[in-house]
Chain A
Amino acid sequence: MISNRKKRSWLICTGVMLLLAVMALSGCSTTHKTADSSSKGEDTSAQQATADKKLVMAYTWKPSGVDPHGDNSWDIMRSGAGETLVRLNEKLEPVAWLAKEWKQDSPTVWTFSLQDKVTFHDGKSMDAESVKASLLRSIKKSHLAKDLLDVKSIDVTGPLALKITTNQPNAALVSNLADPSTIVLDVASMKDEQSYPAMTGAFKIKAFNKDQSLVVERYDGYWGEKARLAEATMKFITDGNSRLLALQSGEVDVATDIPVDNAEVLKKNDKLQVLSSPSLRTHMIVYNMESPVFKDAANRKVVDNLIPRASIVSAIMRGYGTEASSPFPSILPFGKVERKALDGTPEQLLAKDGWKKDAQGTWTKQGKPFEVTLLTFPQRPELSVMAEVIQSQLLKEGIQVKIRKVENIDEALTKNDWDFAMYSMLTAHTGEPQYFMDMFYSSKSESNVSRYASKPLEDILDRLKLAKDTAQRNAVTLQALNIINTDLPQSFIVHPDNVFGVKKGVEGFTPHPIEYYYITAQSDIAE
């Protein structure tokens, strides 16, 4: 005997449960529709799909869009869809890509002749006018492109010839044209919101699923060697452990940015392999040049000398890195620099500078102990471990270090309550030293985190802009590095490697120091 009211209550409860179940199921089917519709009608038949080779990559970053002239340029370049006028070879030298050749007419004028028979993904031919429009758009949309190119004017001098005039002498222009922010596209394709950007790469964009994946497919009209893969998918998996598990479960063929601890796990799996390449990144210590302790160069030199670089490389980096002696790794011709030897032992240097050891073995000067604050941050966990190792090493020598972990290191460095800090930077992201040195060492730059000012160094950097050839540029850069290693506004600790987990059978995936070229025409999967 159940009353009507009771029946109604139960009906409502049952209804709510059913509604939730339907929501869950309908949500799933919606996903299907979204994924299908996002391919924009460019279906490939099921038969073709099984016959063709497809590569899936677990990718660390999550682009917010597919416009290559903005914050997502690196992601588009890595997908194999975008190309620049110049690319960098494995020695990080600029070589021809969409530009066939170039020459410098004067310190501020360069002429480029372009490859012929290049077409955009929408079928239009690439010519000097379209390249000019693309470069102007990249300068307008990207602050980095604007800074790197420093363009005064671009003139079309022939169907496939361009003249670029810079505001100031910019000897790094050619290398800087390899930066992904200058990817060449058909500007008209950006006006159609229903289509993806038409670029010139071996792959064209097939689908972009925000927060999920970027799918590219072979472009059959490609001007160079055709892509061996029919399709490649970059799945955005920001969590390092999730990337590793996706690789182990076989859902992806390649996983980028494998933490070095996990590399050991992958090595034990006979279906997977670990690939690595030297990177252009440098893990370093930056000194606050306004710190009461570290404004004294002798104290910076002592700390620099006590950093256990060899054990950091072997124990913390597990061998995936090399000891650093300058901001630039030694794979670069201007990175081969010797660290300056200390003039005496740390004890002698400190004693000469007026420090005395107290009964507890701590160095003191005018009654104040040698006590310094070291900042570190969680986004690169290995830096915090390095900080602890350095703290322990300095303590052994009588130097007290307080470690403070901050959420945002760049913001923390703008304040004054720190003495030194762990830091990490890409130092030659176009294979060129100039942009980094201008930003990092100029007394006017906000990116000069050490607040270091050196007139001799800034004079050398001005000379670098006028250097005529590679040999001269390298020689001038080495002069600059000599000053940096003497003044020590930073201590360079290690150049970490780029580490990838790759399924056996994946071919043509060659880790490259420059980090732009992941999926290429040569990428393949063995039958």
Chain B
Amino acid sequence: MIRFILERVAQLVIIVLVVSTLTFVLMRLAPGDPATILLTAHNVPASEEALTALRKELGLSEPLHIQYVNWLRDVSTGHWGTSYVSKESVLTELWNRLPATVELASAGFAVMTLLTLGMGLAASVQSSGWLDRLGRLFALLGSSIPSFWLGFLLIYLFSVRLGWLPSMGREDWTHLVLPALTLGAGLGAVQARVLRAQMLELGDRNFVKAAKARGFSRTHILFFEIFKHAILPIITLLGTNLSFMLAGNVIVETIFSWPGLGKYFIDAITQRDYPVIQGYVIFAAFLIVGVQCLVDVVQVAVDPRLRLR
């Protein structure tokens, strides 16, 4: 386990260094001067003196390599910089928004997992019945409807027409329902098809035939023989999608005005808030590697043979 953790830490350091360096260079090469954007926030022109003073204040008048060295030095000592816009610590800003993102990602993940397991198992049990056909339809819709469109459809139906659920914001649990459905439904429907295919493929294997011959019940064979093996690739998929939900649910957060990390990141890009962009990249790398570690641990727990590899 110690080796496993050391490997992951080394991986994390390399990922953070490569990705943040690339981000640093690409952001500086991309068009958009933070000083101009900040000073002309309401499309009111800015004076030359104000622009020069702000560039100096933000450290943007230094050559690029000096800016990079300064940034690297600060990050290595735990100082992630100060947001150009809010003038607050980047780490604090990210940390404050993390609960909202974790909340939404968890709810989306729960929707996705329930759909994957429920629809996948039902479709594999009734592999040519109406549940299977329904699952296929959902998978088709899930893979073809973009999340922004699904979000607006759900808002229109449940908020505007029926008035059952709020359309935006983060106040109580009712505000979580529509964004969680938007985030998890499409992915869950698609993953259910993967689970179904796995279950059906494994159903013909010798170990299943042996279990049948030994007289195990159908339920036992389904859950403790077939499903146990079929779930392994699904766990990997769930983990990958959880990373996506934690680090990249920008569209859903925007549509539902959800105050999470994704939306904050996009706003930071728009405003060329370099310290926030850099900080987010590191933060996202931690989240993604962390989730992948969790996936590995769960996989080993489910299939102890993996420990030997």
Could you tell me which B residues sit within 8 Å of A by CB distance? Answer: 30-33, 36-51, 53-54, 83, 85-87, 96-97, 99-100, 102-104, 106-107, 109-110, 113, 152, 155-156, 159-160, 163, 166-173, 175-176, 180, 224, 228, 231, 254-257, 259, 263-264, 267, 298, 301-304
Query: Would you list which residues of chain A between 148 and 171 have a CB under 8 Å from chain B?
Result: none
Closest 9 CB pairs of A and B: A27-B103, A211-B259, A439-B45, A411-B31, A447-B45, A143-B50, A64-B86, A249-B159, A24-B106
- Residue in B31, B103, B259 whose CB lies within 8 Å of A24: B103
Chain B residues positioned under 8 Å from A408 (CB to CB) = 31-32, 37
Chain B residues positioned under 8 Å from A435 (CB to CB) = 44-45
Chain A residues positioned under 8 Å from B51 (CB to CB) = 446
A211-B259, A411-B33, A446-B46 known; A251+B159 contact, CB < 8 A: yes
Chain B residues positioned under 8 Å from A17 (CB to CB) = 110, 113
Chain A residues positioned under 8 Å from B166 (CB to CB) = 249, 251
For A415, the closest partner residue in chain B by CB is B31
* CB–CB B167/A425 < 8 A: no
- Residue in A6, A235, A445 whose CB lies within 8 Å of B48: A445
Determine the main DSSP class of B at the interface with A. helix
* CB–CB B33/A13 < 8 A: no
A235-B168, A429-B44 known; A23+B33 contact, CB < 8 A: no
For A31, the closest partner residue in chain B by CB is B170
- Residue in A210, A242, A436 whose CB lies within 8 Å of B259: A210
Please list 8 pairs of residues, one from A and one from B, whose beta carbons are closer than 8 Å in the complex, sorted by A's number.
A17-B113, A31-B99, A31-B100, A64-B87, A147-B47, A239-B254, A425-B44, A435-B45
Could you tell me which A residues sit within 8 Å of B by CB distance? Answer: 2, 5-6, 8-9, 12-13, 16-17, 20-21, 23-25, 27-28, 30-32, 35, 62, 64-65, 70-71, 74, 143-144, 146-147, 209-213, 235-239, 241-242, 245-246, 248-251, 281, 406-408, 410-412, 424-426, 429, 435-436, 439-440, 444-447
Chain B residues positioned under 8 Å from A245 (CB to CB) = 152, 155-156, 159-160, 167-168
- A419 CA / B86 CA spacing, docked (Å): 36
- Residue in A8, A13, A250 whose CB lies within 8 Å of B163: A250
- A213 CA / B259 CA spacing, docked (Å): 10
- Residue in B46, B109, B168, B224 whose CB lies within 8 Å of A242: B168
Q: How many A-B residue pairs have CB under 8 A?
A: 192
- A2 CA / B217 CA spacing, docked (Å): 13
Give the distance to chain A from B271, nearest Cβ to Cβ, in Å. Answer: 9
Counting chain A CB atoms within 10 Å of each CB, the highest count among B40, B42, B254, B304 belongs to B42
Counting chain B CB atoms within 10 Å of each CB, the highest count among A6, A16, A30, A250 belongs to A16
- A251 CA / B164 CA spacing, docked (Å): 11
For B48, the closest partner residue in chain A by CB is A446
- Residue in B97, B155, B171 whose CB lies within 8 Å of A249: B155
A24-B103, A27-B106 known; A237+B257 contact, CB < 8 A: yes
Give the distance to chain A from B149, nearest Cβ to Cβ, in Å. Answer: 11
- A188 CA / B42 CA spacing, docked (Å): 28
- A212 CA / B171 CA spacing, docked (Å): 10
A143-B39, A281-B43, A429-B44 known; A30+B32 contact, CB < 8 A: no
* CB–CB A143/B53 < 8 A: yes
* CB–CB A20/B47 < 8 A: no
A20-B106, A25-B173 known; A440+B41 contact, CB < 8 A: no
* CB–CB A447/B264 < 8 A: no
- A143 CA / B207 CA spacing, docked (Å): 75
- A447 CA / B44 CA spacing, docked (Å): 9
Chain A residues positioned under 8 Å from B31 (CB to CB) = 406-408, 411-412
Give the distance to chain B from A270, nearest Cβ to Cβ, in Å. Answer: 15
Chain B residues positioned under 8 Å from A30 (CB to CB) = 99, 103
